[in-house]
Structure 1
Amino acid sequence: MKRARCLGAPAVAALLLSAAANAQGVSPRQLVEVADLGELAVSPDGSRVAFRLQQPSVERNTHDTTWYVQPLDASAPARRVGEGGQPLRESDGASLAPAGVTWSPDGRFLYYRALLDGRVAVWRARADGSGARAVTRDAADVRGFRLAADGRSLHYRVGATRQQVRDAEQAEYDNGIHIDATVALGQPLYRSGRLDGRAATQRLHGGDVIRSPLLAGVADRWLALDLATGNAREVSGGAAPPVSPAHARVAPFKAWKLAWDAHAARVAMLVHVTEWQGVGPRPEVALSVLAAGKGARPVQCRDPLCTGKPITAIQWRPGHDEVLFTVTDADDSQAQSIFRWNVASGRVLPVVRTSGLMNGGRGVPGTCAVSAAALVCVAADARHPPRLERVDLDSGDRRVLFDPNAALAADMASVPVQRLHWQDAAGRRFNGLYFPARRAAGQPAPLFLTYYRCSGFVRGGVGDEWPLATLAGHGISALCINAPPSVLDAVTRFEIGRSAIESAIALLSSRGEIEPGNVGMGGLSYGTEVTLWMAMHSHTVSAASVSSIAFSPLAYTLMSLSGEPFFSRLRTYWQLGDPAATPAQWKRLSPAFNLDRIHIPVLMQLPEQEYLHTLDYAVPLIRDRRADLYVYPNEAHQKFQPRHKLAVYERNLDWFRFWLQGFEDPQPAKAGQYARWRMMADRRGAASPGQAPD
């Protein structure tokens, strides 16, 4: 077993030189405070773009959001037009999918939802930056809205009032909380998580993992607001758009994605050519257009550039017979290219090819905004954090409109990043992003790797917890591996992950770039499962860090009250039932039944929402000095508070520098963690090897 090393004078000198050379390198705080851009919308006349900036602040432990408007020709800088409030989030901590921003027909105003002053309302900002105000003042939070075509009225929907929700929470507190299938056991029960910007009591809603506030199931009420008078009236029967004959004509095709051309009454469609159950490689999609008129048949794109391609997004070019489609290459770290298909001629031409994302800079699917002349996209790749770009649709010329991360981009320019492709012994192909460390005199470096998804500007893997560029700057090479399409059989799925990891280590070792016996690994969610699988079944990893749960009998007990949704998911994806009914599979998969196989140190940095699920295997590991556990209050599956993100980044950096380099940060505040880790190292040195992994 590998131990924390006592470095000799030459190695210490090399580390000091490396630290000095990287004193101006990328810090964990820079990665936490990356600004994200989104919610793009082009003005009705096609001359301006509206967008929202989201900027984390470690100092204030919050996220600032701001709305901007900028001319598409870059004739003037972006103008700040309104506050966006606190970001609205999913219950797992991730940002909500775009809620939609709408221009007024005359281009004078922007309408958007924002969480400000403790309520979610629809706001109207003047596009010239002269002011913004809330136009809805409902006692309930606004769940969605749409602006009338003439711009004179706004329809919006609400559920239970904020006071009704608070009263329901207090009533439970006073009378006792009844435990049933909707209660998320394993987390505090009263106002235990942050939803809609406040501490809220949560309930499982529509499944065994999705959490919602109390009274989330109250039916929508639609209201119509006269924007001239400010008067609102309730709309009987709702205000959702009626199902049109066009929708009815499209329904038989079971389209995966649709894009409507309202002016020509036609629709572009992406249709899977075979049935897909959500697991394994996504089937090929067929791109076609269904014109208006009874009896019309879809016209399919037959050009080689649009057939057999992983098309992931479609939209119409305004005023043209062209469908713009995005191809996302899963074999190249989700690199995206955009093409235009002329429906009349059948010709397909490339617009832009990139080595990163054009859909928002993150893994969340999105599209560019579009005018008749240009796309406006949030571009990002491994070396360039998110920035707003204009892409000319005819020439493909790219121009940066707005770059809030220019300083970080300048620092990243000196960070080497490589796209890595390799195969395992079975011929399976894998890919990832590799951050090679600066090495003294060509000596091999330690390696850290994470496994899941590596698209766009990769800060710290899925969940953003392992600062890859920072690790490389401190002498630890970092590799983010893109997991191949999932398979249903859990053991096969994890063994494919193991093969990807071991073959990558072998490749880098054969090049003399890394020390094969000095490898760390970390991951969130599926990445946690694969990390623990490697700890149980492989010799190649010498230190681990996880940030979420793996299944164990305790997790099964806590989650089983939600009933069939949980049992079905467990059977389908892990082939697990009750531990007494499927003991062999539990023995294969769960760390609780493989404690004697885990011989490497494990750092656990878990959200309060999940940590109790791990205690039947975490506590024995902690007692035996094989694990160190930190829990972050009021955090969900993906941590989102900036101070917590920074603490996680910095502790992971300390952890892997300790185990892979034998380095300790001399800051007095960190003395306690190093004292624990040294005891863990002593325990490893004194322990017998025990049963080796398979």
Structure 2
Amino acid sequence: MKTLPIIVLMSGLSYVAHAQTVEPRDLLEVADFNGPVVSPNGKLVAFRIEQASVERNTYDAFWYVQDVDGVSLPHRIADGGVVLRDSAGIPLPATVVWSPDGRWIYYRAMVDGKIDVWRAAANGSGVEPMTHDTADVRDFVLGKGGCVLRYSVGAAREEVRSAERAEYDQGIHIDAFVPIGQPLFRSGFVGGRMATQHYGKVWFDRVPLPADVPDHWKAVDLQKRVTRDLDAAEARDVGEESNADKRYPEAWLLSRSPADDRVAILTRTGKRNGLRDKPDVKLSATLPEGPQEIVCKAAACTGKAITSIQWRPHSDEVLFTVTDPSAGLAQSIYRWNVRAGAVLPVAHSPGLLNGGRDPSSKCGASHAAMVCVSATASQPPRLERIDLETEAQRVLFEPNAALARAMAKSSSVRLLRWKGARGQLFTGRFYPAKSGSGARLPLFVNYYRCAGFVRGGFGDEWPFASLAAHGISALCINAAPYRLDPVDRYNEGLAAAESAVTLLSANGEVDCAKVGMGGLSFGSEVTMWVAMKSRLLAAASVSSVSMSPNYYLLGSIKGDPFASGLKKFWGLGSPEKTPSQWHVLSPAYNLDRISAPILFQMPEQEYMQATDYVIPMIRKSMADLYVFPNEPHQKFQPKHKLAAYTRNMDWFRFWLQGYEDDDPSKADQYARWRALRRRPTSARSSAPDCKG
């Protein structure tokens, strides 16, 4: 068995150890863990690592296996293939299943343009595809005995390409399913390749052609290597195994015990009072001897933000994770004995302690220990073992050690807690810049989600540690619970930013006349709202659209699903039917109220929705616009990510520090920005509002 080639894995990060500052590329090339799963005997853990390659504009993904006790280094056993993503650009979870004897792991991978189920030997001796289908595998289930692999497919790959070519040859008919406002032929990545997209069933979700092909289930006899189609009854049984248990229709999350029919349940409870989601969570479980639910009533699981649940193997205990909003989304793990009712602590982290970047992802678990991905604002992801009896923690694998050392030298990130004018509690991660002269420093603010190793805010576009290393303090603010009234939820973002600036200015830490703000998705909406409704900002940067007539026009082709969503979450009908609400919410009707220059770095799939207010801003010397080809809601191509990181750094250093990089390739960029700065002060604010 060959040991892991550590030097290869860390080559993209090793130079950081000698750097004086953490640069955007360092943050982009973090090695991320995905989905640690412990073998049935509890001795091994399998996990995937993903890492960006700027030169090749792709992501390397490899599967590793390591002893849970950490007695040896991890072994790289298989190529993970192309990192698959949803239509918003977010990586899909890397699901891995162990064979009952612990000799093999099974996983989906896209290799050579085909998504199949692959099998890799845990000892690194071999890897092979277990399906050879004409269609891409959507899901799979390994039979309990480990002898049969059942998997689902949709349309055959050639059928998909034929449907795309037919549209191209005959002209694409525009209807409620065609995402207008973006290129129409093979314009987005689906299943790891450029594909023609149609709208799915959820908001602006996109799916490949032909979009209405249902799952078709098949089974592979792993000993005879024979594949057969499942009949309707067999397919229905598999679907029920792989889907949420229909016995609990009110459940938010379910976890079935792999050994029997026990179920752990999370249910949202309480009155919404204007919130999108019920504010509380009830933890309960069932045992084999009775159908009644047993509710956890201990203090540790009552009135807490429980975000994940799983059964401890070979026990009556449910392991659950609390993600505490009052502590900046810090996570704690507990174990609840369903029979005895006792709840005991397992571990606590000031950041994430789970299965990856998603706060709701699960650790791997055996009866003796959990294997978790640990990440904090100053600590890049690493793999840790947590003993379930003694609570002792041990680092198993730390591929980002060089970056961790650089972070420790360059920045002292701290949790910030403060209250707004109406007494609401806000939390965030503050990256203070260092001032040799003791002068107040500029501040960059981002509002959305700040869990784990933050990097560049939700969507990763504003490099907090790099900004701080270059003299601009940065603050990532955790958004308040999502309110259905758009004015209320945007005003909470405005209150969070204003009160944070007031606090930090009063402490002498920031210059309240030099504040920048940026965001993606909801963070973009809040940034535009702050720019419209206050004079807090000296500069801004956004990556996504806000409500506008163009957004309505292009989205309205979807019909009732779009109209109902617009009404529910923004209180909007058409601009003609609800003009007053449009005039409150849309930048298109509030350009005269925007004083801060705005950098737009938008994906090709969305920018057309914003042109009715961005183009007038460009013509009035209020904005600069970049569009990234073939990118969805969240950009993911490494070269594009690095370009966005770097340009945001340049933008805020220009406006908040008066700094220009002497790189000749940036000359045109700075010429445009200097033209924006020459805009008459009667059109720009002479100075933002400044308190403290």
TM beyond 0.5: yes
Q: How far is 1:625 from its partner?
A: 1.2
SS at 1:647's partner residue? helix
SS at 1:442's partner residue? coil
CA distance in 1, matches of 2:341, 2:249: 21
CA distance in 1, matches of 2:580, 2:244: 49
1:318 corresponds to 2:304: no
Answer whether contact 1:40 1:368 (CA < 8 A) is retained. Answer: yes
What is aligned with 2:403?
408
Worse-superposed segment, 297-306 or 663-672: 297-306
SS at 1:413's partner residue? helix
* 1:109-258 map, 5 Å: 109-237=104-232, 238-241=234-237, 251=247, 254-258=250-254
CA distance in 2, matches of 1:521, 1:244: 46
Answer whether contact 2:54 2:639 (CA < 8 A) is retained. Answer: yes
Amino acid across the alignment from 2:254: L
1:438 corresponds to 2:434: yes
CA-atom RMSD, angstroms?
2.2
1:60 corresponds to 2:56: yes
* 1:245-644 map, 5 Å: 251=247, 254-274=250-270, 279-280=275-276, 282-293=278-289, 296-363=291-358, 365-414=360-409, 415-644=411-640
Offset from partner CA, 1:541-571 (integer Å, 9 cap, x none): 1100000101111111001000111111111
SS at 1:640's partner residue? coil
Q: How far is 1:501 from its partner?
A: 0.7
Offset from partner CA, 1:455-487 (integer Å, 9 cap, x none): 110000010000000000000000001110011
Answer whether contact 1:435 1:469 (CA < 8 A) is retained. Answer: yes
Gaps of 5+ in 2: 1-17
CA distance in 1, matches of 2:309, 2:302: 14
Answer whether contact 2:36 2:48 (CA < 8 A) is retained. Answer: yes
CA distance change for structure 1 residues 671 and 39 in 2, over 3 Å: closer, same or farther? Answer: same
Worse-superposed segment, 111-120 or 405-414: 405-414
Q: Could you state the TM-score of these two structures normalised by the residue count of structure 1?
A: 0.93
Q: How far is 1:360 from its partner?
A: 3.3
Q: How far is 1:208 from its partner?
A: 3.3
CA distance in 2, matches of 1:453, 1:244: 34
Answer whether contact 2:312 2:319 (CA < 8 A) is retained. Answer: yes
Amino acid across the alignment from 1:257: L
Answer whether contact 1:422 1:429 (CA < 8 A) is retained. Answer: yes
Q: How far is 1:493 from its partner?
A: 1.3
Amino acid across the alignment from 2:661: D
Amino acid across the alignment from 1:290: T
CA distance in 2, matches of 1:318, 1:689: 62
CA distance in 2, matches of 1:580, 1:613: 18
SS at 2:194's partner residue? strand
CA distance change for structure 1 residues 360 and 317 in 2, over 3 Å: closer, same or farther? Answer: closer
Answer whether contact 1:223 1:235 (CA < 8 A) is retained. Answer: yes
Answer whether contact 1:596 1:691 (CA < 8 A) is retained. Answer: no
Answer whether contact 1:437 1:474 (CA < 8 A) is retained. Answer: yes
Of the three residues 646, 653, 666, the one matched with 1:650 is: 646
1:680 corresponds to 2:679: no
CA distance change for structure 1 residues 155 and 423 in 2, over 3 Å: closer, same or farther? Answer: same
CA distance in 2, matches of 1:581, 1:676: 39
Offset from partner CA, 1:193-236 (integer Å, 9 cap, x none): 01111110000011330001011321221111122232211111
SS at 2:309's partner residue? strand
CA distance change for structure 1 residues 518 and 244 in 2, over 3 Å: closer, same or farther? Answer: closer
CA distance change for structure 1 residues 137 and 249 in 2, over 3 Å: closer, same or farther? Answer: closer
CA distance change for structure 1 residues 44 and 363 in 2, over 3 Å: closer, same or farther? Answer: closer
Amino acid across the alignment from 2:392: D
SS at 2:437's partner residue? helix
CA distance in 1, matches of 2:554, 2:299: 51
What is aligned with 2:4?
none
CA distance in 2, matches of 1:65, 1:691: 48
SS at 1:297's partner residue? strand
Offset from partner CA, 1:563-590 (integer Å, 9 cap, x none): 1111111111111110011111111111
Worse-superposed segment, 308-317 or 256-265: 256-265
SS at 1:86's partner residue? coil
Amino acid across the alignment from 2:466: T
Offset from partner CA, 1:248-278 (integer Å, 9 cap, x none): 9972572222222243532222222336699
CA distance change for structure 1 residues 137 and 240 in 2, over 3 Å: closer, same or farther? Answer: same
What is aligned with 2:8?
none
Answer whether contact 1:494 1:533 (CA < 8 A) is retained. Answer: yes
SS at 1:122's partner residue? strand
Answer whether contact 2:455 2:464 (CA < 8 A) is retained. Answer: yes
CA distance change for structure 1 residues 337 and 213 in 2, over 3 Å: closer, same or farther? Answer: same
Gaps of 5+ in 1: 1-21
CA distance in 2, matches of 1:270, 1:379: 24
Answer whether contact 2:307 2:359 (CA < 8 A) is retained. Answer: no
1:33 corresponds to 2:29: yes
Q: How far is 1:297 from its partner?
A: 2.2
CA distance in 1, matches of 2:676, 2:663: 20
CA distance in 1, matches of 2:647, 2:404: 24
CA distance in 1, matches of 2:551, 2:392: 53
SS at 1:548's partner residue? coil
SS at 2:423's partner residue? coil
CA distance in 1, matches of 2:103, 2:277: 45
Offset from partner CA, 1:28-70 (integer Å, 9 cap, x none): 0011111111122111111000001111111110001000000
Q: How far is 1:243 from its partner?
A: 8.5
Give the paired residue count.
Answer: 671
Q: How far is 1:177 from its partner?
A: 0.3
Answer whether contact 1:433 1:480 (CA < 8 A) is retained. Answer: yes
Amino acid across the alignment from 1:489: D
Answer whether contact 1:113 1:121 (CA < 8 A) is retained. Answer: yes
Worse-superposed segment, 568-577 or 460-469: 568-577
Q: Could you state the TM-score of these two structures normalised by the residue count of structure 2?
A: 0.94
CA distance change for structure 1 residues 418 and 27 in 2, over 3 Å: closer, same or farther? Answer: same
CA distance in 1, matches of 2:271, 2:93: 26
CA distance in 1, matches of 2:557, 2:244: 39
Amino acid across the alignment from 1:483: A
Offset from partner CA, 1:403-461 (integer Å, 9 cap, x none): 11111111111211010011112111111000000012211000000011101100000
CA distance change for structure 1 residues 684 and 477 in 2, over 3 Å: closer, same or farther? Answer: farther
Answer whether contact 1:452 1:461 (CA < 8 A) is retained. Answer: yes
CA distance in 1, matches of 2:271, 2:576: 35
Answer whether contact 1:280 1:486 (CA < 8 A) is retained. Answer: yes
Amino acid across the alignment from 1:137: H
Amino acid across the alignment from 2:57: N
CA distance in 1, matches of 2:263, 2:622: 58
Worse-superposed segment, 69-78 or 263-272: 263-272
CA distance in 1, matches of 2:67, 2:329: 30
What is aligned with 2:3?
none
Offset from partner CA, 1:364-422 (integer Å, 9 cap, x none): 52111100100001111101111111000011111111111111111111211010011
